Amino acid sequence: MPSASTITLNSPLDMHLHLRDGDMLQNIAKESAKTFSGGIIMPNLVPPVCTKEEVVAYRARIRDAIGDETFIPYMTLFFKPEYDHAFLESLREEITAIKLYPAGITTNSEGGVSGFDIETLRPALEAMSDLAIPLCIHGETNGFVMDREAEFVPIYEKLAQAFPKLKIIMEHITTKASVDALERFENLYATITLHHLLITLDDVAGGMLQPHLFCKPIAKRPEDREALLQAALSAHPKVMFGSDSAPHPREAKEACGCAAGVFTAPIALQVLAELFAKHGAIENLPDFISNNAQRIYGITPPAKKIILEEKPFTVPTSYGGVVPMYAGETIDYSIREVMDG
Ligand code: NCD
Ligand code: ZN
């Protein structure tokens, strides 16, 4: 029987996940599939996932990489303004959401959107609204790095107002400004990563530079982290966990010109359990990790029970050449057991 120091989670979901492709996919997909019931799979491959055939083929490669783990890859398409109603209708059943990247803002986003002219975006966004396809947005301008997300908030608001029936998910929010925006529009939602609940810019660049904590959007100020923490720990009904676990080979991170992305998939549940327990908020973790996402996206993931226990776990220094967050350090919770059904 699980003792008092265990935490049981049902069907955890990772609503923002990079699984990559090729050898990297083969190496890291299981790290999510072992402990999560499903995840929203980001489409920023090279080239990006833009057609029905590409979605279907990518899902098949993911399924191959995860083997017999119980895990649903909820697929996304890379947003293009030229998508029309007929095209989107033809692949509605294959996707769970569409991801919009401003052009060039992050890893493999060169083919994204330049300018946010409502009339240019209207046909595609009205079609998505009509077909009830949620729009996930990487909300950053190309302004000063610490201000990019806050500068994007008026664009979120413009879109939320122009397309009131479209569910808009502000991905991996990092600022108090974004948390506050959730209250102003019914159709705005958000994902929050693990690392943005834990670190500020000080942890990335305040001492010796920490390339494995460098990501987009960059971690912000203590008051921003505090606002994110409050939203997550209180299980704000419009907020979901999305790890943004974004693996890059060690050489691409420990380089002159460090790739953006923090790899958290193997430790996400353990560290979230520790964080919520530390703040006396463990009863709210199920909403943050699964229930809110199920309600917002209207999805029912496969049944899976994860039992975590308060027992030290030393994080491996590498998973197939990718350095995870907390590499070589000891965290307080371990996965004791995973049960399907
Ligand atoms: C992501 C990646 O590497 O694909 N990087 C990151 O820093 N988060 C892309 C993204 O979500 O911005
Ligand atoms: Zn991402």
Q: What is the 8-class DSSP label of residue 105? A: S
pLDDT computed for residue 3 by the predictor: 54
Q: Relative to the CA of 18, which ligand 1 atom is closest?
A: 4
Q: Counting atoms of ligand 1 from 1, which one is nearest the CA of 172?
A: 11
**pTM tops 0.75, yes or no:** yes
Residue among 14, 244, 287, 332 flagged as catalytic: 244
User: Given ligand 1 and candidates 41, 44, 107, which is best to mutate, with the most ligand atoms within 8 Å of its CB?
Assistant: 107
- Six token digits for residue 83: 């998508």
Tell me, what's the pLDDT at 98?
98
Q: Is 16 in the pocket of ligand 1 (CB under 6 A)?
A: no
Is residue 338 one of the residues assigned to a domain? no
Ligand 1 pocket member 137 (CB < 6 A): no
Atom of ligand 1 nearest to the CA of 106: 12
CA distance 221 to 192: 15
Tell me how many domains the chain contains. Answer: 1
Cα–Cα distance, 128 to 77 (Å, whole number): 12
Shortest-distance ligand to the CA of residue 101: 1
Q: Do the beta carbons of residue 290 and residue 36 sit within 8 Å?
A: no
Give the Å distance between the CA of 229 and the centre of ligand 1: 21
Taking the centre of ligand 2 as the mean of its atom positions, its distance from the CA of residue 315, in whole angstroms, is 22
Whether 103 is in a domain gets the answer: yes
Q: Is residue 97 in some structural domain?
A: yes
Q: Please give, one letter per residue, the 3-state secondary structure of 98-129.
A: EEECECCCCCCCCCCECCCCHHHHHHHHHHHH
Per 3-state DSSP, the chain is made up of helix, strand and coil in percentages (nearest 5) of 40, 20, 45
Instruction: Give the phi and the psi of residue 94 in degrees, each rounded to 5.
Output: -90, -15
Confidence at residue 115, expressed as pLDDT on a 0 to 100 scale = 87
Give the pair of three-digit tokens for residue 221: 């100020």
- Nearest atom in ligand 1 to 259's CA: 3
Report the separation in Å between the CA atom of 136 and the middle of ligand 2, taken as the mean of its atom positions. 10
37: CATH: 3.20.20.140
- 65 C-alpha to center of ligand 2: Å? 20
First-to-final CA distance of the chain:
18
Q: Which residue's alpha carbon is at the smallest distance from atom 11 of ligand 1?
A: 244
CB-CB contact of 236 with 167 (8 Å): no
pLDDT tens digit sequence for 152-195: 999 999 999 999 999 999 999 999 999 999 999 999 999 999 99
Calpha distance 50→82 (Å, rounded): 11
Tokens standing for 47? 């080239």
pLDDT at site 341: 82
Compute the C-alpha angle 243/267/273, nearest 5°. Answer: 85
Positions in the chain short of pLDDT 50: 1-2
Verify whether ligand 1 is closer than 6 Å to residue 44 (CB atom).
Answer: yes
- Cα gap 51→63, rounded to integer Å: 18
CA torsion 178-183-189-193 (nearest 10°) is 40
> The domain containing residue 245 runs over which residues?
13-267+279-284
Note the pLDDT of residue 327.
Answer: 98
- Give a yes or no: residue 299 inside a domain: no
Distance 283 CA to ligand 2 centre (A): 27
Distance set, CA 110 to CA 30, 47, 80 (Å): 28, 10, 12
Q: Classify burial at 196, counting beta carbons within 10 Å of its beta carbon; exposed 0-12, middle 13-18, buried 19 or more.
A: buried
Give the mutation target among 138, 216, 325 for probing the ligand 1 site: most ligand atoms within 8 A of CB: 216
Sheet harboring 72-78: ordered strands across?
13-17, 38-41, 72-78, 97-100, 135-137, 168-170, 188-192, 239-241
Asked if residues 58 and 75 have their Cβ atoms less than 8 Å apart, the reply is yes
Q: What's the rounded Cα separation, in Å, for the pair 260 and 246? A: 8
Query: Catalytic residue at 147?
Result: no
Q: With a 6 A CB cut-off, is 30 part of the ligand 1 pocket? A: no
Q: Does residue 314 form part of some domain?
A: no
Q: What crossing angle do the helices spanning 52-66 and 22-33 adopt, rounded to 10°?
A: 60
Asked if residue 223 belongs to a domain, the reply is: yes
